[in-house]
């Protein structure tokens, strides 16, 4: 994979407004956290050139790290399309993992054909706290899969997520990250130096950041 992918992708995400940085007017997450960033990697799908490039990068990294992978698994719903595109380039079977078993039909949580013992690489679009991503890994392991690791498009880089991945013995690699995003935003003049400082403070302590910033 070419060097500088993390910053190149970060700029592309900003260009298509998949990532919005707004430290002065924070967003509110479902968790109740106030956040200076909003990230929606599904917007990549509406941009053919970037969509193809991200698929290539995901496939390259997955094949580089896990050449023995037999199946690609996408985490629903955000990583289904990205996972399919990567699996197509890798010429591997694809499955996707629901957040929970469906309440009709077969009650499946894993959609597609996955035999026990298969070596699986997981594709994810976004890593925040890591809980939903690791829930997908658990479902795959419960089904008998040998999960080799996970490749994601973007991570916020929370210590909490790193701790959870370590505890579950899941290797995580990403194409880009929050630090690269803030760096690019500063270099391009998208944000001020004071805003960059605030963004770094949020990443260090997201649950408390808004309580201080907004009072």
Domain-located, residue 215: no
Q: What is the span of the domain harbouring residue 70?
A: 5-210
- 185 in a domain, yes or no? yes
Q: Indicate whether 194 belongs to any domain.
A: yes
CATH of the domain at 176: 3.40.50.2020
Whether residue 83 is contained in a domain is answered as: yes
Kindly state whether residue 204 falls inside one of the protein's structural domains.
yes
Domain-embedded: residue 28 = yes
Q: Are 132 and 99 in contact (CB under 8 A)?
A: yes
Q: Based on the structure, what is the number of domains in the chain?
A: 1
pLDDT tens track for 128-172: 999 999 999 999 999 999 999 999 999 999 999 999 999 999 999
Within-domain flag for 73: yes
Query: pTM for the complete prediction?
Result: 0.93
132: burial class by Cβ within 10 Å (0-12, 13-18, 19+)? Answer: middle
Q: What pLDDT is attached to residue 213?
A: 45
């Amino acid at each position: 994979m070419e060097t500088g992918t993390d910053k190149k992708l970060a700029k592309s995400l900003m260009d298509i407004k998949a990532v919005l940085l707004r430290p002065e007017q924070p967003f509110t997450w479902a968790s109740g956290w106030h956040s200076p960033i909003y990230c929606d990697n599904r917007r990549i799908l509406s941009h053919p050139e970037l969509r193809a490039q991200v698929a290539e990068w995901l496939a390259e990294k997955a094949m580089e790290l896990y050449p023995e992978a037999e199946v690609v698994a996408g985490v629903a719903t955000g990583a289904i399309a990205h996972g399919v595109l990567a699996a197509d380039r890798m010429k591997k079977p694809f499955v996707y993992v629901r957040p929970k078993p469906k309440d009709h039909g077969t009650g499946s949580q894993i959609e597609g054909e996955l035999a026990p013992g298969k070596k699986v690489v997981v594709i994810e679009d976004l890593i925040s706290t890591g809980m939903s991503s690791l829930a997908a890994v658990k479902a795959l392991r419960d089904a008998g899969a040998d999960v080799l690791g996970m490749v994601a498009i973007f991570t916020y880089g929370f210590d909490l997520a790193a701790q959870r991945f370590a505890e579950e013995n899941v290797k995580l690699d990403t194409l880009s990250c929050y630090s690269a995003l803030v760096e690019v935003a500063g270099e391009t003049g998208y944000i001020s130096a004071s805003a960059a400082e605030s963004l770094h403070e949020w990443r260090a302590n997201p649950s408390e950041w808004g309580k201080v910033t907004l009072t």
